[in-house]
């Protein structure tokens, strides 16, 4: 289940490459304005574990569902609840041997663990300890690179009726099941997309979001006040219109644009083969240049969908730049295809120099305008020798977080603020690389987003959201807490429905028992 704003990885050109309670300790110099209750859960008996959250048992605090696979391939789920002494198991049951991924959906007003496998989706009945068939559907989605049962985010409210719908990924598209009254699901509408890449190259597959990084967009393309499903189909947009029942027309209509781009697949800019085929002089075998459709969404809060283009330029890996362009939409004249006309010139532009590692979209001040965070290697480091020396002597590489806030529909030439993070490279002795977590969410409950940045393996810094041009406070609050080794294993979730985002960390290890840390904001 995903209740956060859609935001996805844009480009990865290199890899950056039972418990007790207590309070997190803070550095004496930190701003002690946020307190957290800390709880640890040991997964000593779990193998290849995955953790998802949801109000699965009807408690006031969300439950932790731990999915495991043993050496014989047997799949199990354990659901834990939080009491005064910490996390305690409440349910332990077997799952079907063919279960390949899970998610959490709100069905008929109650959170349910759902599981895919063997051509059907099921929901887990925690009272009976068994799976109940939900819908029949075939998915050949294969999350990248990880054993176990991954969390694949297939539940989204695509028709804006405050119900979770099912978007089941397939090689040639996606099947959309709209939730109806009483927790049923309408017959699916299948969106068949043009052939594309097999997968995007990001993360190890612990948590996957095919919708967030996918090629299908939700936007009101016919200006009737209802979101439609739209995707690029070679030389035009195919639009599946939503009707007054919240269903989508199986037959798409056509919407055109004069704005040009090379592809609608962000993964085409990842270029993993180019990284491996780089010459000894560190130049690429071809120019890394591309202009890609990034999104169709309302960027400035005026109620009309806009078109977003992401451009990558650079004949050399060390001389790269990116451009983010927003072409604002306006209601089209009577009879215009789709009802929207995109401007011929970009109304908002961000230009960044450096090797791009990622970009995410947020709303820092909840004003309806889209704010952005870019992650790049700093321009001052774009020298091969400099990068190699820094990695050799420090075991890490510096990257810059740049914050771009939209004001009156435009982005300033320079970012409103920035922070430096360090990504540890893999060591010759076999030590894993460290890709630090960077999270944005309202942890304080004041309506402004905070910035949470992992510092090494034992610190988490929280930069408070502030009014004015700087977006985040310069001086962070520092929590002394063990951190996971990969960004996928740390995320924000409101565990107690108090309007504050809490921190959840899954410490996965090949040599020690896995454990889970929850930091619940007071």
Q: In terms of C-beta distances under 8 Å and separation of at least 24 residues, what long-range contacts does 86-90 make, across chains too?
A: 86/18, 86/19, 86/20, 86/21, 86/39, 86/40, 86/41, 87/18, 87/19, 87/39, 87/40, 87/41, 87/516, 87/518, 88/18, 89/18, 90/57, 90/63
Q: What is the maximum alpha-carbon separation in the chain?
A: 66
pLDDT value of position 19: 44
pLDDT value of position 16: 33
pLDDT value of position 193: 85
Taking only the tens place, the pLDDT of each residue in 2-60 is 333 333 323 333 333 344 455 444 443 434 479 999 999 998 776 789 999 999 999 99
pLDDT value of position 349: 96
- C-alpha of 70 from chain center: 28
pLDDT value of position 273: 42
Please state the pTM of the whole predicted model: 0.85
pLDDT value of position 271: 47
Mean pLDDT, consecutive 10-residue segments, the chain of 522 residues? 33 36 44 82 83 97 95 93 92 96 97 97 96 95 74 95 95 92 95 68 69 85 93 93 96 94 78 41 56 94 95 75 94 72 95 84 92 78 47 60 93 91 58 76 94 92 89 93 92 97 93 92 92
pLDDT value of position 170: 86
Query: Which distant-in-sequence residues (6+ apart) come within 8 Å of 31 by Cβ?
Result: 464, 473, 475, 476, 477
């Amino acid at each position: 289940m995903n209740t956060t704003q859609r935001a996805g990885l844009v480009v990865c050109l290199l890899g950056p490459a039972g418990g007790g309670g207590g309070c997190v300790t803070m550095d004496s110099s930190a701003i002690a304005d946020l307190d957290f209750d800390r709880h640890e859960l040991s997964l000593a008996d779990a193998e290849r574990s995955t953790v998802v959250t949801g109000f699965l048992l009807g408690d006031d605090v969300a439950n932790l569902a731990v999915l495991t696979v043993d050496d014989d391939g047997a799949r199990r789920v354990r659901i834990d609840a939080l009491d005064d002494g910490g996390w305690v198991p409440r349910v332990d049951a077997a799952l079907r041997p063919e279960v390949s991924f899970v998610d959490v959906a709100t069905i008929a007003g109650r959170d349910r663990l759902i599981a895919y496998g063997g051509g059907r989706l099921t929901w887990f009945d925690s009272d009976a300890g068994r799976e109940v068939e939900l819908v029949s559907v075939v998915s050949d989605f294969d999350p990248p690179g990880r054993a176990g049962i991954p969390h694949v985010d297939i539940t989204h409210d695509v028709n804006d009726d405050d119900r979770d719908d099912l978007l089941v990924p397939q090689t040639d598209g996606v099947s959309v099941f709209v939730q109806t009254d009483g927790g049923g699901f309408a017959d699916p509408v299948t969106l068949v997309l043009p052939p594309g890449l097999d997968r995007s190259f990001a993360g190890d597959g612990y948590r996957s979001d095919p919708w967030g990084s996918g090629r299908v967009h939700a936007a009101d393309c016919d200006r009737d006040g209802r979101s439609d499903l739209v995707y690029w189909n070679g030389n035009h947009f195919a639009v599946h219109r939503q009707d007054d029942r919240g269903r989508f027309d199986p037959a798409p209509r056509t919407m055109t644009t004069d704005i040009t781009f090379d592809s609608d697949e962000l993964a085409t800019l990842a270029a993993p083969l180019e990284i491996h085929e780089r010459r000894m002089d560190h130049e690429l075998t071809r120019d890394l240049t591309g202009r890609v459709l990034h999104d169709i969404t309302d960027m400035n809060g005026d109620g009309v969908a806009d078109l977003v283009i992401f451009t990558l330029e650079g004949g050399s890996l060390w001389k790269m730049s990116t451009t983010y362009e927003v072409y604002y939409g306006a209601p089209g004249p009577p009879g215009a295809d789709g009802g929207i006309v995109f401007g011929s010139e970009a109304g908002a532009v961000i230009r960044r120099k450096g090797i791009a590692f990622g970009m995410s979209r947020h709303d820092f001040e909840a004003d309806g305008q889209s704010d952005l965070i870019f992650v790049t290697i700093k321009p001052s480091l774009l020298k091969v020798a400099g990068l190699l020396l820094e990695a050799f002597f420090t075991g890490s590489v510096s990257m810059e977080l740049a914050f771009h806030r939209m004001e009156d529909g435009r982005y300033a030439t320079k970012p409103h603020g920035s922070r430096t993070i360090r990504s540890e490279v893999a060591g010759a002795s076999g030590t894993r690389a460290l890709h630090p977590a960077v999270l944005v969410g309202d942890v304080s409950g004041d309506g402004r987003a905070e910035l949470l940045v992992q510092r090494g393996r034992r610190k988490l810094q929280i930069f408070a959201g502030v009014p004015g041009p700087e977006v985040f406070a310069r001086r962070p609050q520092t929590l002394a807490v063990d951190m996971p080794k990969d960004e996928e294993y740390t995320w924000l979730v409101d565990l107690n429905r108090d309007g504050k985002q809490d921190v959840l960390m899954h410490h996965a290890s090949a040599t020690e028992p896995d454990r889970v840390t929850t930091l619940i904001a007071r």
